[in-house]
């Protein structure tokens, strides 16, 4: 059914519907669709994995539920994400369902609403951190390799920033892993930018990029854009990164903030006066490409989008946060506020927009 009706069912199987399904997972729970590995399984993770009925696993999608889409910590109810993502592996990639294993690592949740919800299906405790967390992850990764071999693909999905970067760095040389939020999103968005440049003109290096959001997705996309600029121009990465600017919750990431920044943000701290708002950053930097990965809806305000349109004939605006309610702006807003001149893409699907007698079909990245 999904394979034959991908366009219609994609928003149901994955974002935006999957976000609501995760929020209500305990209330709508009927039967397990993936494998849960909890703190109580410590020392027995290999045994737990052997309970899965299929042996020829090729792809594992695993989350710990701490940063589900833009919805935050949903604990074990984040299982809807690996289930939905692996359905796309089958529908769009042709991978056998029996070769796919959705996994949720349940180490608790810091979401008080879930801890007090009588239908919550996970561990009712605060989220484990530090050594306790990493020991469970180490046991899981070792067990996966022992049972399914070195060639099984492990996709890290919707881990919080502090664990996402650490896990990727730790296991990328010993396991076949990638982080979808850092690397998967980046590859798709870079492809989207390259496609947009066919309309706008110019090379990657000739454009200026401004991100709202400096987490996994934002820094991952930024790094891949800089890497591609470096490949095309043969310039060093340090130089290429200067084409890319990031705004986080405290404002523009600049050199004067470097000592207080998390390590993954530091490469993006450029020389510039401190600016606290996105609008000020847009006005000062005058980007040709504006990309939202903030997880906060309606942050591409009318004044921000109109500013982009004031100095760009075809402003490139990617509003990527999921689900739809967390998108930085809607397709309709982007087209209306730029008089139909924007090249727009979003993380969740938007319907076509009618403007000035023309139909605009938003892209999805």
Decide whether 3-174 matches 183-364 in CATH topology.
yes
Name the strand (E) or helix (H) holding 103: strand 100-106
Residue with tokens 């938007």: 350
For residue 149, what pLDDT is reported?
Answer: 97
Label residue 1 by pLDDT band (50, 70, 90).
Answer: confident
For residue 32, what pLDDT is reported?
Answer: 86
- Evaluate the CA torsion angle 8, 14, 15, 18 in order and state its sign: positive
- Evaluate the CA torsion angle 84, 88, 90, 91 in order and state its sign: positive
Higher-pLDDT residue of 61 and 30 is 61
Instruction: Concatenate the DSSP letters of all residues of 17-80 into one string.
Output: HHHHHHHTHHHH--S--SEEEEGGGTT-HHHHHHTSS-----EEEEE-SSSBTTTB--GGGGGH
Residue ranges of domains in the chain:
3-174, 183-364
Predicted TM-score (pTM) of this structure? 0.89
Tell me which of 14, 25, 89, 171 is the catalytic residue. Answer: 14
51 is in an annotated binding site: no
HSE-up of residue 14 (Cα within 13 Å, Cβ side)? 19
Name the strand (E) or helix (H) holding 289: strand 289-292
**Cα gap 171→232, rounded to integer Å:** 29
Q: Summarize pLDDT for 34-76 with one digit per residue, the tens.
A: 999 999 999 999 999 999 999 999 999 999 999 999 899 999 9
Is the per-residue pLDDT at 194 higher than 90? yes
High-pLDDT (> 70) share of the chain, %: 100
328 is in an annotated binding site: no
Neighbours of 267 (CB within 10 A): 19
Q: Summarize pLDDT for 238-275 with one digit per residue, the tens.
A: 999 999 999 999 999 999 999 999 999 999 999 999 99
Q: Summarize pLDDT for 307-338 with one digit per residue, the tens.
A: 999 999 999 999 999 999 999 999 999 999 99
| Domain topology for 183-364 | Rossmann fold (3.40.50)
Is the per-residue pLDDT at 15 higher than 90? no
Active site residue 14: yes
Label residue 99 by pLDDT band (50, 70, 90).
Answer: very high
Q: Summarize pLDDT for 134-183 with one digit per residue, the tens.
A: 999 999 999 999 999 999 999 999 999 999 999 999 999 999 999 999 99
CATH number of the structural domain 3-174:
3.40.50.10380
73 is in an annotated binding site: no
For residue 304, what pLDDT is reported?
Answer: 99
Tell me which of 25, 36, 44, 85 is the catalytic residue. Answer: 85
Residue with tokens 């969740």: 348
Q: Which two tokens stand for residue 2?
A: 């999904």
**Cα gap 138→144, rounded to integer Å:** 10
For residue 258, what pLDDT is reported?
Answer: 96
158 is in an annotated binding site: yes
181 is in an annotated binding site: yes
């Amino acid at each position: 059914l999904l394979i034959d009706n991908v366009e219609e069912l994609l928003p149901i199987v994955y974002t935006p519907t999957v976000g609501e399904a995760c929020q209500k997972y305990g209330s709508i729970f009927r039967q397990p669709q993936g494998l849960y590995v909890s703190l109580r399984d410590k020392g027995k993770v290999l045994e737990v994995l052997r309970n899965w009925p299929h042996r020829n696993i090729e792809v594992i999608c695993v989350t710990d539920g701490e940063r589900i889409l833009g919805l935050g910590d949903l604990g074990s109810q984040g299982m809807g994400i690996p289930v939905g993502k692996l359905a796309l592996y089958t529908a769009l990639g042709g991978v056998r369902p029996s070769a796919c294993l959705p996994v949720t690592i349940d180490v608790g949740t810091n979401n008080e609403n879930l801890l007090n919800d009588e239908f919550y299906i996970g561990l009712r405790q605060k989220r484990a951190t530090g050594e306790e967390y990493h020991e469970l992850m180490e046991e899981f990764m070792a067990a996966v390799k022992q049972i399914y071999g070195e060639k099984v693909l492990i996709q890290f999905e919707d881990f919080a920033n502090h664990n996402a970067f650490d896990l990727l760095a730790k296991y990328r040389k010993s396991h076949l892993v990638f982080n979808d939020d850092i690397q998967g999103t980046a590859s798709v968005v870079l492809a989207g930018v390259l496609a947009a440049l066919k309309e706008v003109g110019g090379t990657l290096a000739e454009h200026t990029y401004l991100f709202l959001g400096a987490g996994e997705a934002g820094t991952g996309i930024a790094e891949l854009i800089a890497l591609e600029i470096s490949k095309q121009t043969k310039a060093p990465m340090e130089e290429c990164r200067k084409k890319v600017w990031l705004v986080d919750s405290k404002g523009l990431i600049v050199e004067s903030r470097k000592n207080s920044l998390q390590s993954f943000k530091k490469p993006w701290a450029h020389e510039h006066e401190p600016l606290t708002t996105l609008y000020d950053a847009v006005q000062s930097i005058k980007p040709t490409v504006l990309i939202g990965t903030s997880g906060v809806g309606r942050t591409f305000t009318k004044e921000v989008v109109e500013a982009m349109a004031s100095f760009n004939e075809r402003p490139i605006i990617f509003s990527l946060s999921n689900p739809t309610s967390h998108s930085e702006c809607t397709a309709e807003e982007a087209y209306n506020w730029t008089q139909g001149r924007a090249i727009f893409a979003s993380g969740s699907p938007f319907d076509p927009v009618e403007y000035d007698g023309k139909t605009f079909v938003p892209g999805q990245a």
